[in-house]
Structure formats: C-alpha cells, structure tokens
Amino acid sequence: MNFIFKIMAMTLSLIFFTTFISKVINWKDYKQTIASYKIIPPKGISISLLFFLINEAVIALSALLVGWRPFNAVMATILLLIYTIAISINLLRGRKDLACGCGGVLESERLHYGLVIRNLLFIIAVVLLSFTSKENDISDGWLTIGILLVSVALLLITAVISEFNQVRNQFRHLISEDRRIHDGIKL
C-alpha cells in the first residue's frame, strides 16, 4: 500500500508540474480559455492566470521535494475547487464547447461532468496523501526512480487515452456531419 501512495504522490506532483509547464508555454491560449469561461472580468484574467501558475508550480515543486503535506493539500484543494466550480458553472449554463484549460495530459477540448468527477477524485487523493505523507515521502533514493518511471507511464497512458477520445469525438462529428449532408440530399 505504501508503494501505491508513493506512486499516487509522484503522479499528482507531475500532473501539477506538467500543467504548469503547459500553461507557461501556451500563455496566450490559456488567457483566452480563462476569458471564454466568462467568469473573471477581462482586467483580472492575466492576474488569475499568474495566480494559477504560481500555485501549480509551488504545489508541484514542494510536493516533489518534501512530499505531500497538509500545506500542499490545502493549496491543491483550493485550486482544484476553483477549477471545478468554473467548469460546473459553464456546464450549468449549457456551455460545453469550451476547452477545459486543464493543461498538459489532462487537457480536454470540451467541458463535461467527467472533469468535475475527476477533480473531486484528485481532491480526495491530495487530502488522503497529506494524512499519510510522513510514511509516503517520494524521495527515497533509488526507489524514487522506479516511482518516477511508473508515474510517467501512467501520465503517458492518460495522454494516449485522451488523444484517442479526441480523435474518436472528431470522427463521430464527421460521421454526423456526413449523415446530415446525406439526409439533406435525399430530401
């Protein structure tokens, strides 16, 4: 069980780190994504993105260096709650054709309730890790390399599944467009 917690800790740390890197690289895209949510006033978008970036970097780096502590759990929970509330607001508004703005391997082209469930599971995971952090530090020498490799593999699997889902959705869209065109010709 200890090994599973260590993998979970490393994987969550890497998720926050890759999300941070993705948002830094695609700064303008993420500003547009935040604006598309229509929750934050235009003047607050850059400040909000900077807030998200700083928090994601602090969470990832401190979790990688000292393990998941209550401090990390509180910061991650607040950040994940903000993201979850923003997604939920737009879903309740019926606005699903927005990128989630999750970044990295978690990015989704459309909003859906699965993102809300995923974020709630992440919150449960970070809280659980904060209570078990003393026994589950991820900096145990050579074991860390193995844990890192397993975590990277999990992230790669997640990325492949995400890409597959996006291609599948695009394919479904093309089929439905073709059917509409075909049905239009019959009439």
More confident residue, 3 or 7: 7
Mean pLDDT of the chain: 82
Q: Does the pLDDT value for residue 87 go beyond 90?
A: yes
Percent of the chain with pLDDT over 90: 40
Tell me which residue of 159, 157, 166 sits closest to 19, measured CA to CA.
159
What average pLDDT does range 139-155 have in this prediction? 61
pTM for the structure as a whole? 0.75
**Which residues, including other chains, have CB under 8 Å from residue 153's CB and lie 6 or more apart?**
none
Q: Which pLDDT value is given to residue 5? A: 77
Alpha-carbon span 140 to 128, nearest angstrom: 20
From CA 77, how far away is CA 73, in angstroms rounded?
A: 6
One DSSP character per residue, the chain reads -HHHHHHHHHHHHHHHHHHHHHHHHTHHHHHHHHHHTT-S-GGGHHHHHHHHHHHHHHHHHHHHHH---HHHHHHHHHHHHHHHHHHHHHHHTT--SS-----GGG--SS--HHHHHHHHHHHHHHHHHHHSTTT--S--THHHHHHHHHHHHHHHHHHHHHHHHHHHHHHHHHHHHHHHHHHHHH-
* pLDDT band at 147; cut points 50, 70, 90: low
